[in-house]
Structure 1
């Protein structure tokens, strides 16, 4: 996906969005796994142990709710055993998204599905207990079908409905193509690529005016945003299909960091401003 054209970093005003009054957003942490900072970001220390988040985000909207990613599932241990040995890490498992939703009394009939930022195991494991439609674009679906890193996704998505959306909208905040989920600018999916063929950034605008960019694995930690630190060379070779496209996506994200909250998927602290799921959950119409 590398282009000969110079990358575009956003400098203009933010696009209009009209999030409805009933829209909200919540974090659902499902566990963590540990690695050394030296394996997470260039310049990281071997003495610095990082807890990688496996957190899903619920976006409620009058037109239907969506999860961004699925976190750890009920069988996460089995999923981790499917990985290459070098990719396994000590982990702590919390309650799954399904368990958290049910404990809060959330009406699951409101859930349109899980919009995956990409199909790597730590983003999709929780599909094993959610059993809801998977929202995915064609590029990522083909990557999931063919790449060894799609093995867990292929297992947990078996028998699930697939909602394939088209990234046929205009460029968005410097990213080359987009999809406006509800048509009101409140949830916009933009093609990032690079980490996987069809990996995406999910932009969310809340009624308060607060904006978030869930950038998946363009960087694993906030160091990538605050000091422009890429993954170490070896990890770029292992984890990314196109390191140059990841570098461009990271630059685009850094340019946006003065305008919105950037959330790398695996940085525990990046979720701090997002409220936890309330219990009992205020299901509309009940």
Structure 2
């Protein structure tokens, strides 16, 4: 049974300067039959590898890192059956450079979890990586953390605590800036420390970056988990994923939910404008 919607939403006071941008770094190809129960083997999907920049006066954050400069090497590190055709775009670092971004503003990367397609881009980002203790342990020891261990070498790892109590049905959370604008909620299930990152904009719009609780929006609209054989391969606790998915479904009418790998889910979020494009628009 799907949980009842939560109303009202928690109070948030995002600053007027808060902005959110998407940094699409590429896609890889799979079939819907592998993405959600009932998906078709004939339905080809392009899975997003997208980083998200949240700009805040107290310091900016990236949510996930997308594909890195050495993504082909990272894919080669995977078991053969996990490799898929992929298309690369500019890395998050390249897009930030093209925008003339001031890296002194960037507090680091909050990873929704440490699987390769969320962390590959750390290879060209010299910034701290923010994770809770459960995910730090998983990334250090699990076979699925091989790419993470390679790309995070030399990075400062900043563990954070879920010290701010339940949030939108999730059992524990961390209010990053203390104003409700960026709240990290513990989801678990897919990995022990996987998280959902909620962002409240000054316009009143709310986003929920739900990582891999489902790979495609079909999981939300049709209330479908991954197929049973994929759950066994990818989820440490399928029941925990089910619970997190139910929590998200209850929020669909009040929060724009973004599964990490659904390309179209990012459409409402603007691209980060390059310096040249901004200059041209002002002339």
Settle same-fold status: TM greater than 0.5.
yes
Residue 149 (str. 1) matches residue 144 (str. 2): yes
Unaligned runs of 5+ in 1: 1-5
User: How many aligned residue pairs are there?
Assistant: 277
Which secondary structure does the structure 2 equivalent of 1:21 belong to? coil
Shift of 1:229: 1.4
Which secondary structure does the structure 2 equivalent of 1:256 belong to? coil
1:80 to 69, 75, 78: 75
Unaligned runs of 5+ in 2: none
Residue 195 (str. 1) matches residue 198 (str. 2): no
Which secondary structure does the structure 1 equivalent of 2:250 belong to? helix
Look up the match of 1:105: 100
Shift of 1:7: 9.2
2:253 to 253, 258, 261: 258
Deviations 1:85-117 (A, max 9, x none): 111100001100000000111111110000000
TM-score after normalising by structure 1: 0.95
2:273 to 268, 272, 278: 278
Residue 163 (str. 1) matches residue 158 (str. 2): yes
Give the 3 Å change call, closer, same or farther, for CA 150–189 of structure 1 in structure 2. Answer: same
TM-score after normalising by structure 2: 0.96
Look up the match of 1:182: 177
Residue 211 (str. 1) matches residue 206 (str. 2): yes
Shift of 1:162: 1.0
Give the 3 Å change call, closer, same or farther, for CA 217–9 of structure 1 in structure 2. Answer: farther
Residue 19 (str. 1) matches residue 14 (str. 2): yes
Q: Distance in 2 between matches of 1:131 and 1:109?
A: 11
Q: Distance in 2 between matches of 1:258 and 1:237?
A: 30
Q: Distance in 2 between matches of 1:193 and 1:245?
A: 6
Moved over 6 A (4+): none
On the 8 A contact 1:41/1:229 being kept in 2, the answer is yes
